[in-house]
Amino acid sequence: MAPLPLFRIALLVSFSVVLTVLLGFGLPGMLNIVARFCGFHETNVTECIVSIYLVFVVYVAMPRIPRGLVEVKGKAVFITGCDSGFGHALAKRLHKLGFTVFAGCLFKDKGGEGAKDLEEFHSDHMKVLQLDVCSEEQVNQAVEYVHKNLEDTEKGLWAVVNNAGISTFGEVEFTTMDTYKQVSEVNLWGTIRVTKALLPLIRRAKGRVVNLASMYGRMGNALRSPYCISKYGVEAFSDCLRYEMKAWGVKVSIIEPGNFIVATGILTRDIVANTATKLWREAPPAVKEDYGKTHFDQHMALMRSYCNSGEKDVMPVLEDIIDAITSKRPYTRYTPQEPHWWIRVQAMTYLPAAISDRLYF
Ligand SMILES: NC(=O)c1ccc[n+]([C@@H]2O[C@H](COP(=O)([O-])OP(=O)(O)OC[C@H]3O[C@@H](n4cnc5c(N)ncnc54)[C@H](OP(=O)(O)O)[C@@H]3O)[C@@H](O)[C@H]2O)c1
């Protein structure tokens, strides 16, 4: 890891000192005022601090508090993007748990390895189907297939997991409009297309919609604009849908994984190499001249270094998706992220941009 510049260290240290002084001296006084405002006669500051701390501990522990489980028997789940990564592993896990799995694979018809591997289950409860989420026709065919193969259409479909996704990178001035559209076509419009097509069946089951967003659905980053806008869109779509579905008893959850690049096929060295070639080839001459090849190559090297980064085990993501499907009271947002990414998302969401920008950029 690169050493932090002196300015950033000074900023972090002064921020912590100010926070400690404020909490140390200001908190008791503030609690007195709040307590008086709430009509309490005598304020016991120590008890107040302990209560706040307990609330914090409960908040941190909340994901582990049991909330009851739904019965799995007779329930079916539809997953997109099961050729590899989270989707592939999830299809296997849900099948093992006893769900009927409709596993959408992009390359089933072309004999893709991921689809073949799932077909080798030779199980009535593992149904592998061809699905490109960008194709209206294939999505309609998939819905027809689900209708025909559900045990009981009247009971509907229990859950859809919108997992299919692609990633790319590049500075705004190097990124073509076609690239912006391609990424959102899969990540955002694909999610909306599949959800809309399956909602009548999900509503019937009072079931679940689980959408794979990302930590990049909550914060931006340099070089990641095509991916970020698609994932911000997934977050917004999921929030709006959640409000609408409340009346129908359907629960909508968003999964915001941190960095699991090394564990899945989302950003391989081949993808980085091909993207780099394309970015430079398609960049306008003036952009190439202004930014320069050295600057460009440094950024591409940075992206290459990410290929081996992140969590190696996809289990935290799978556990959260499974919780969203099986818990009686699923959460709205799940954040399977390494601590440093989680802190960064919090800082960039809740601190004034003047502070978070200085900390991270
Ligand atoms: N890995 C991470 O660090 C990370 C972090 C945050 C969020 N996510 C999100 O998690 C989801 C799963 O990604 P992953 O990491 O498991 O990557 P992955 O291994 O590449 O899985 C994505 C799957 O989507 C499929 N796909 C691509 N385009 C499709 C299309 N048009 N229609 C249907 N399927 C399509 C891919 O098929 P092919 O492999 O056959 O191309 C692949 O099987 C994505 O939405 C991603 O944005 C991942």
Distance 240 CA to ligand 1 centre (A): 23
| Ligand 1 site, CB within 6 A | 80-81, 83-87, 106-107, 112, 131-134, 163-167, 186, 190, 212, 214, 257, 259-261, 264-266, 310
| Options 59, 145, 216, 227, the catalytic residue | 227
Q: Which of 14-18, 69-73, 110-114 has the lowest mean pLDDT?
A: 14-18
Question: Taking the complete model, does pTM exceed 0.85, yes or no?
Answer: yes
pLDDT at 30: 76
Find the helix packing angle between 190-205 and 225-245, rounded to 10°: 20
The two tokens of residue 119 are: 């077909």
Distance 164 CA to ligand 1 centre (A): 5
Does the pLDDT at position 2 exceed 50? no
Handedness of CA 44, 48, 54, 55 (dihedral sign): positive
**Closest approach atom of ligand 1 to CA 267:** 20
Nearest CA to ligand 1 atom 4: 260
Residue 284 contacts by C-beta under 8 Å, 6 or more apart in sequence? 173
User: How sure is the predictor about 41, in pLDDT bands with cuts at 50, 70 and 90?
Assistant: low
Distance 261 CA to ligand 1 centre (A): 10
User: How sure is the predictor about 4, in pLDDT bands with cuts at 50, 70 and 90?
Assistant: low
Could you read off the pLDDT of 121-158 as tens digits, one per residue? Answer: 999 999 999 999 999 999 999 999 999 999 999 999 99
Domain chopping of the chain, boundaries = 6-63, 73-360
Fold of 73-360: Rossmann fold (3.40.50)
pLDDT at 46: 67
Could you read off the pLDDT of 179-204 as tens digits, one per residue? Answer: 999 999 999 999 999 999 999 999 99
Quick check: is 227 catalytic? yes
SS3 content of the chain, % helix, strand, coil (to 5): 60, 10, 30
Could you read off the pLDDT of 236-280 as tens digits, one per residue? Answer: 999 999 999 999 999 999 999 999 999 999 999 999 999 999 999
